[in-house]
Amino acid sequence: MKLPLGTLEPMPGAATHCPYCALQCGMDLRGDGDLVHVAPRATGDNPPGLCQKGWTAAELLTSNERLTTPTIDGEPTTWERALAHITQRIQQIQHQHGPDAVAILGGGGLTNEKAYALGKFARVVLGTKNIDYNGRFCMSSAAAAGIKAFGLDRGLPFPMADIASAEAILLVGSNVAETMPPFVHHLSTMQSNGGALIVVDPRRTPTAKRATLHLQLTPGTDLALAQGLLHLAIVEGYVDRDYIGARTEGFAEVHPIAMAYWPERVERITGVPVSQQRKAIRILHDAGNALVLTARGAEQHAKGVDTVSAFVNLALALGLPGTEGNRYGCLTGQGNGQGGREHGQKADQLPGYRKLDDPKAREHVAKVWGVDPADLPMPGVSAYELLDALGQPNGPRALLVFGTNPVVSAPRAKHVEERLKSLDLLVVADLVQSETAAIADVVLPTAQWAEEEGTTTNLEGRVIRRRRLRPPPPKVRTDLEILAGLAESLGKGDKISADPRRTFEELGRASAGGIADYAGISYERLDRDGGVFWPCPTKDHPGTPRMFHDGFATPNGRARFVPVEYRPAVEDVDSTYPVYLTTGRVLAHYQSGAQTRRIPSLRRAAPDPFVELHPQLAGRHGIEDGDEVRVVSRRGEATAPARITDTIRTDTAFMPFHWSGAGRANTLTNPALDPTSKMPEFKVCAVRLEKVAP
C-alpha cells in the first residue's frame, strides 16, 4: 500500500546520496507519479554501487507506515497545537526545574545543517547543557583516540580510493561486506592486485571469509592483540626508527609496556595462535604500502579508546600515518557520523570541532550566534548518562529526540525505556512510528532524505550535497522547520532558520578557524565540484583530501604514542554467566531497524532476530538449529531462535541488534562506559543460555 501524495508535484530527478551508512553512495532519483526510481551514481573516487538497503530506500517515501500528521497522546492534531503544547510544557518544566530540565538527543544520521541547528537550539533557545547524540555509541572511542594521537579526528584522513592501492590491510572489528557492501569494491581491487587482507573478528563473517588471514579472537581482547603485534614488531626489528624519531613522540613510554605482551601470553588472552600473530605482523612489515583500519568491534568497549590507541601505536611504530600510501584510519558508521560529531550536537562541542569549555571557542561562536559567551551552558553529560538520568532527582524532566531510536539502540535498553516513560514530556521527531515514538507524548512527522536539501560528510571527510527530489507530504515538516517553529514559539525565532542553505552558510562562519573548518565550502561549490574535503578555510582553498603529510595537528606537529595496558572486559564470564555475547548487524538492516524493518523485501530477507551459536556450544545446551533460546544477562533476557554455525567461536554467542520486543539484543548489553569517550561496552558481556521448552 502506498501513501497518497495528494497535490505533490514530482520533480523529474535529483542527484543525491543514500540515507544509510557513511559511504553515502551516490544516487540518481527520478519521480514517476507515486513511484521513485533509484539508480546508482559514481561519486568522488567511488564507482556506482548500492547495497540492497540503498536500492530499496525510496520505498519508505510513499509507505503507509510513515508518519503524516503530528499527534499528542496518540491523537492526531495540528502543527500549531503540537508546537503550542510543547512550548507550554517546556516553559512550565524549565520554570519549575531550571533550563537543564529539558534535554535533547540527536542522531548521527542528521545532516550537517540539522546537527548544527540542534546544538544551537539547545544552547541558545533552551539554554540547556543537556544535549548529546547517538554517535556517542558509534565513533566516540575512535574520535578520542585520534585526537590523543594526531590532534584531530577525521575517520579517514585520506580518500577511499587509496585503499585499493594498499599492499596489506589490517581490518579490526568491521564486517564491511554486510554493513557497507560497496566498500568491498576497494578491498577486492586491493586483493586482485596481490594485496593481503587481515581481519580481526570473533566471527568468520562474510568479510573475514575474504581475508588472507583471519584472527578469530575472544571478544574484548583486541587491545591485548594490538600490544602483542607491537611486541613482535619491536623484537623482529620491524619498527621504523627513522619515522619514529622524525615524526612522533612517546615511543619510549610505550616500548616497555609492549615488551610484556610476548606471543604466548597474548595467545592465552586472545585465543589467537602465536603462528598467526607472527604471520600478521610479517605481512604488514613486508608490504611496501600498509594500512590499519579500526571500527566498532574494537571501539564499542569500556576500554575502546585504549584499544584504538593501541592499534594507532602499532601503525606509528610501523611508520604508517601521514606518509604517502601508508595510512591509519577509522571506518565511520552512521550516514553523517563524521559531520554529525563536528558541529555541536555532542555534549562538549561547539561547531568546527571546538571545545565548549574553551573560552576562545565560546567567544567566536557566541559572536556568530549574537549572544553573550557567558550565556552559553558548559558541557553536559554523554548519551547514556543523559538517558540514565531522565526523570531522576535533579535529572531532565523532558527530552526532545531527533533522528534516533534509543528504546532499541541504547545499552541496557529495558532500563532506558523505563527512564523515557518516566518523563513529564517526551517529544519524538521521526519519519516512522519507531519504538521510541510509540511511547512519546508528542510525535512530529519529519521529512525524509529525498524531501529536503542539505549536506553530509562521509567517512573520508568529504562534504557532499543532499538534494531534494520533491517536497514532503502536506502535513510533514523538515527537522529544521520544526526547530525554527519551536524557536519562534519560544520567543527566539531569529535564532534558528528553516532554510538549509542559510543554515549552512552560518555553519561555515561558526566553524571558521576550527579543526573542522567549513568556511570555504558553499552549496554552489559542492554542486560544481561534487564534494570538498575539510578543512577548507577559504573559498579558493582546494580542500584537504590527505592529511598529516606536513605534520600532525598537535602543538609540535608530532604524532603521540599513548601508553595503554590491557584489561579484561568489565563483565567477564563466570559460572553463572559462562558465555560471551557480542552484537552486530546483518546485511538487510540498518541500526535500530526502524526504517529497514518497514521495507518488505528487506523484512523478507531478514524477518527476525536470531542467536548465533557454534555447534559445540549449542550441543552442550541441548540446542538444535531453530530452537528458541533464552539469552540471559545481569540486565535482562532476550529470546530468539538459534542459528547453528561453525563461523563463531565455541565460547561466544552473537545477536544482531536491529529488533525490538523479545529479541531486543540491547536488553542484554552492558552500559559500562569508557572513561574518556563514554562509549558503552556494547561488544561484550557475559550471558547464559537456556533452551525454551516447546
pLDDT given for residue 1 in this prediction: 32
Structural domains of the chain ordered from first start: 14-62 (2.20.25), 71-138+337-449+475-497 (3.40.50.740), 140-331 (3.40.228.10), 579-691 (2.40.40.20)
394: left (phi over 0), alpha (psi -120 to 50) or beta: left
Closest C-alpha to 510, from 364, 680, 688? 364
Q: What is the pTM of this model?
A: 0.95
Indicate whether 3 pLDDT > 50.
no
Instruction: Take residue 205 and report the three cell numbers written for it.
Output: 563473517
Indicate whether 419 pLDDT > 90.
yes
Stretch 279-307: mean pLDDT, rounded? 96
pLDDT given for residue 637 in this prediction: 98
Rounded Cα distance between 187 and 210, Å, is 9
Kindly report, residue by residue over 529-567, the tens digit of the pLDDT. 889 999 999 999 999 999 999 999 999 999 999 999 999
Find out whether 119 and 657 touch, Cβ atoms under 8 Å. Answer: no
pLDDT given for residue 322 in this prediction: 87
pLDDT given for residue 8 in this prediction: 40
Instruction: Take residue 302 and report the three cell numbers written for it.
Output: 569500556
Find out whether 531 and 43 touch, Cβ atoms under 8 Å. Answer: yes
Question: For the purposes of burial, counting CB atoms within 10 Å of the CB of 464, is it exposed (0-12), middle (13-18) or buried (19 or more)?
Answer: buried
pLDDT given for residue 694 in this prediction: 84
For cell 535529572, the residue is 395
Cross-strand pairs, 454: 466
Kindly report, residue by residue over 102-158, the tens digit of the pLDDT. 999 999 999 999 999 999 999 999 999 999 999 999 889 999 999 999 999 999 999
**How does residue 4 score in pLDDT terms, banded at 50, 70 and 90?**
very low
pLDDT given for residue 6 in this prediction: 37
